[in-house]
């Protein structure tokens, strides 16, 4: 289905090229979503001869379907970060993401993309005590905030915690606006990387540095990404005629999220692990049954599904892809916060390539500990689906589930998706399936 961003942003007529033969560059960025385009843009601005390879059209996949909240408030993250990593690292996480808000604000000053400052709220559907602990963490870390006794959403709640000076925008307007400033090859599907050379069906690209910005890394067995990431699907409905909220809101417990764009109210929810649903009551049905009851006068204008890559500890993996290839970098696992995550990744990888270091390389290192509960649930899902009979995924052979709502074959192990004719919709798979 067409997202609101696809319906309202105009793709530039010129700019992207077709790859013909073999080319050479300082840096190859693989993936033309927000993380890839921002990385290519910052690297180019820093003086690198950088090319970007995108398998379809730039901005045509995950970025087209985000809710595009630009915020350092990632649910209830700071209390956990203080406890698990200590206040210095928690502050570093906030500062890196707030710098991303500012970086995107600066880009928006020259690329019109409906960037608007908003307060981001997390509202307590489940626990006032957890919200109180998060507020204490904000105070300790010096994060500008305020509280509401009740969140302005048509749901019972126990108050909200607002992070000030956050933003929302139209992601495709920004992405399209940056394309003329970078060297882009579209319809260049990288199916493998050998040494410093990426192969596509139209030729090859050899570069001193390679950046994997393909949402789920294209190369994921070396690096163990197949163990440390899974994907989630959730659903967004854009309503016309509903009362507009003043701010961006998200539930503390996986419930509904809200933001506005022009006269539209965007409501998101219905999330589930890709390949494990949606059940009849999930997905669009869950969001629609809520919006029908809460906004009976409103009209649904757009509906679309998003795909999120979840890391083990809900912190992105940004940095060296694997130790044996120190000149290969990765940006993945944004865990539902892909706009600030993309900018943090672009800034960090640019610093690593140009300066040889980044102040946040330890915080986001892909080589950090994997000992988290979700590692065992990822392994359990993979084991169960590797032996289950049925149609096989072309990635690592798990049993695919049919997604009746979107008429696709979805993989519960790592989230690859295939169209009804077997072509790849979402990676990490790179080969079609036979249907
Ligand atoms: Fe990995 Fe299907 S996505 S086995």
Question: What pLDDT shows up at residue 370?
Answer: 94
359 CB-side CA count, 13 A: 11
Range 134-172 burial, b when 16+ CB lie within 10 A, else e: bbebbeebebebeebeebbbeeebbbbbbbeebbbbbbb
Task: Tell me if 27 CB under 6 Å of ligand 1.
Answer: no
Q: What percent of the chain has pLDDT over 90?
A: 91
**Strand pairing partners for 418?**
409, 424
Look at residues 299, 310, 432 and name the one whose alpha carbon lies nearest to residue 375: 310
What does residue 247 show for φ and ψ, rounded to 5 degrees?
140, 170
What does residue 361 show for φ and ψ, rounded to 5 degrees?
-65, -30
pLDDT of 33 strictly over 90:
yes
Question: What pLDDT shows up at residue 18?
Answer: 92
Task: Tell me if 424 CB under 6 Å of ligand 1.
Answer: no
281 burial (CB, 10 Å; 0-12 / 13-18 / 19+) is: exposed
Structural element, H or E, at residue 327: strand 325-332
Residues 273-285: pLDDT tens digits? 999 977 767 789 9
Residues 49-71: pLDDT tens digits? 999 999 999 998 899 999 999 99
Task: Tell me if 392 CB under 6 Å of ligand 1.
Answer: no
Question: What pLDDT shows up at residue 280?
Answer: 66
Residues 315-365: pLDDT tens digits? 999 999 999 999 999 999 999 999 999 999 999 999 999 999 999 999 999
Average pLDDT over residues 90-96: 98
- Which of 224, 307, 411, 432 most suits a substitution to test ligand 1, by most atoms within 8 Å of the C-beta? 411
Question: What pLDDT shows up at residue 282?
Answer: 78
Model pTM score: 0.96
pLDDT of 127 strictly over 80:
yes
How would residue 173 be classed by pLDDT, with cut points 50, 70 and 90? Answer: very high
Residues 326-335: pLDDT tens digits? 999 999 999 9
Q: How many CB atoms lie within 10 A of CB 10?
A: 9
CA nearest ligand 1 atom 4, residue = 396
What does residue 285 show for φ and ψ, rounded to 5 degrees?
-60, -40
Range 264-274 burial, b when 16+ CB lie within 10 A, else e: bbbbbbbbbbb
């Amino acid at each position: 289905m067409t997202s609101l961003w696809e319906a309202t942003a105009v793709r530039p007529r010129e700019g992207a090229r077709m790859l013909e033969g073999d080319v050479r560059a300082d840096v190859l960025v693989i993936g033309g979503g927000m993380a890839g385009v921002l990385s290519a843009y910052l690297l180019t601005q820093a003086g690198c001869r950088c090319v970007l390879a995108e398998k379809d059209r730039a901005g045509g996949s995950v970025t087209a379907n985000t809710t595009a909240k630009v915020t350092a408030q990632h649910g209830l993250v700071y209390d956990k970060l203080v406890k698990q990593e200590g206040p210095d690292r928690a502050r570093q996480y906030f500062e890196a993401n707030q710098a991303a808000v500012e970086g995107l604000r600066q880009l928006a000053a020259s690329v019109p993309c409906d960037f608007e400052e908003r307060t981001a709220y997390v509202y307590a559907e489940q626990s006032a005590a957890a919200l109180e602990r998060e507020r204490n963490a904000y105070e300790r870390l010096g994060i500008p905030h305020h509280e509401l006794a009740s969140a302005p959403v048509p749901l019972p709640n126990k108050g909200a915690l607002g992070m000030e000076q956050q933003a929302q925008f139209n992601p495709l307007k920004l992405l399209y606006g940056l394309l003329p400033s970078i060297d882009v090859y579209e319809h260049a599907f990288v199916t493998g990387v050998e040494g410093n050379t990426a192969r596509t069906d139209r030729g090859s690209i050899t570069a001193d540095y390679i950046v994997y910005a393909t949402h789920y890394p294209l190369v994921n067995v070396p690096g163990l990404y197949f163990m440390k990431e899974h994907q989630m699907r959730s659903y967004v409905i854009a309503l016309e005629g509903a009362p507009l909220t003043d701010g961006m809101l998200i539930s503390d417990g996986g419930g509904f999220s809200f933001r506005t764009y022009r006269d539209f109210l965007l409501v998101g929810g219905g999330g589930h692990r890709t390949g494990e649903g949606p059940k009849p009551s999930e997905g669009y049905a869950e969001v629609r049954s809520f919006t029908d009851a809460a906004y009976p006068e409103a009209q649904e204008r757009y509906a679309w599904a998003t795909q999120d890559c979840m890391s083990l500890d809900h912190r992105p993996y940004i940095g060296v892809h694997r130790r044996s290839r120190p000149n290969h970098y990765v940006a993945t696992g944004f865990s539902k916060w892909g706009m600030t995550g993309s900018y943090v990744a672009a800034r960090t990888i640019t610093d690593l390539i140009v300066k040889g270091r980044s102040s946040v390389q330890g915080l986001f290192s892909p080589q950090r500990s994997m000992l988290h509960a979700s590692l065992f649930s990822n392994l359990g899902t993979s084991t169960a689906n590797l032996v289950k009979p049925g149609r096989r995924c072309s990635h690592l052979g798990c049993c695919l589930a049919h997604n009746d709502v979107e008429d696709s074959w979805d993989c519960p192990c790592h989230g690859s998706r295939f169209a009804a004719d077997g072509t790849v919709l979402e990676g990490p798979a790179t080969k079609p399936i036979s249907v």
